[in-house]
Amino acid sequence: MTPLSKLFLSAIFFSCSTILFGQSSPEAKAQLNRVSQVVSAFNNIEIDFTYELINTEADINQKTNGSILISGDQYKLNILGITRIFDGAKLYTISPEDEEITISSGSNDGDETISPNEMLQFFNTGYHAKMNITQKIPGRTIQFVKLVPVKKNNDVSYLLLGIDKATNMIYRLIEIGSENTKTVITVNSYKANTSLPTNTFKYDPKAYPGYFINKLD
């Protein structure tokens, strides 16, 4: 799984080490800290996004929409017709096409079930950060920060994190792969601190009659 996918599927815990920021520009560090402060203040956030995979040499250009709702240690992700619900202890991967549900525990499913509290703060560890271009789009100014992995990564050359300067929220994340592959996640809209039903992240087996249940525990 690439760092870009982990933006929505897992969390890398907050760490402002001097090793990371020692080779990062003060301006980039300050910008990323502002994003962290905004995200940390949310009780919950729902994001609608577009996911693109581009490789011109292989003639690949795939685009799909998705959404994710995050609240504390819980999340619900919808993408490619699959729903993933993490209730804080168990991860439920629901595939209507296959009529199959895979159930796994956080301890047995690796990094995909790490607490998503700081899902939008993955950039705070493991990268050197430098300011990049500023891009004007209708009604917005987007400041890009270039993130280069501290450790050599055979899959990822670097990331470009686009931040809305007015809101200090992530607008776009571009991953430049080492195999001439570019992956782009664009945040189309988001809502924060909304009132959620108590069963938002509850898996209800009665809603999926006849589904095959695959328990990994």
217 occurs within a structural domain: no
SS in 3 state form for 61-77? EEEEEEEEEEECCEEEE
Task: Give the pairing of strands 156-164 and 82-86.
Answer: unpaired
Residue 125 — very low, low, confident or very high, per pLDDT cuts 50/70/90? low
Whole-prediction pTM value?
A: 0.80
Closest Cα to residue 93, out of 160, 105, 3? 105
Element (H, E) at 83: strand 82-86
Domain enclosing residue 129, as ranges: 21-206
Residue 107 tokens read as 């301890």
- Residues in Cβ contact with 7 at an 8 Å cutoff, skipping those fewer than 6 apart: 119, 120, 122, 173, 185
Closest Cα to residue 7, out of 52, 98, 68, 96? 68
In angstroms, rounded to a whole number, what is the distance separating the alpha carbons of residues 109 and 103? 9
In angstroms, rounded to a whole number, what is the distance separating the alpha carbons of residues 212 and 206? 13
Task: Give the pairing of strands 212-215 and 100-105.
Answer: parallel
Give pLDDT, residue 4.
44
Instruction: Tell me what the mean pLDDT of segment 110-135 comes to.
Output: 65
- Summarised one tens digit per residue, pLDDT across range 81-109 is 999 998 989 999 999 999 999 999 854 44
Burial (Cβ within 10 Å: 0-12, 13-18, ≥19) of residue 8: buried
5 occurs within a structural domain: no
Report the mean per-residue pLDDT for the chain. Answer: 81
In angstroms, rounded to a whole number, what is the distance separating the alpha carbons of residues 189 and 90? 28
Identify the CATH number of the domain in which residue 198 sits: 2.50.20.10
Count of domains observed in the chain? 1
- Summarised one tens digit per residue, pLDDT across range 134-176 is 999 999 999 999 988 888 777 888 889 999 999 999 899 888 8
- Summarised one tens digit per residue, pLDDT across range 193-204 is 999 999 999 999
84 occurs within a structural domain: yes
211 occurs within a structural domain: no
103 occurs within a structural domain: yes
183 occurs within a structural domain: yes
202 occurs within a structural domain: yes
29 occurs within a structural domain: yes
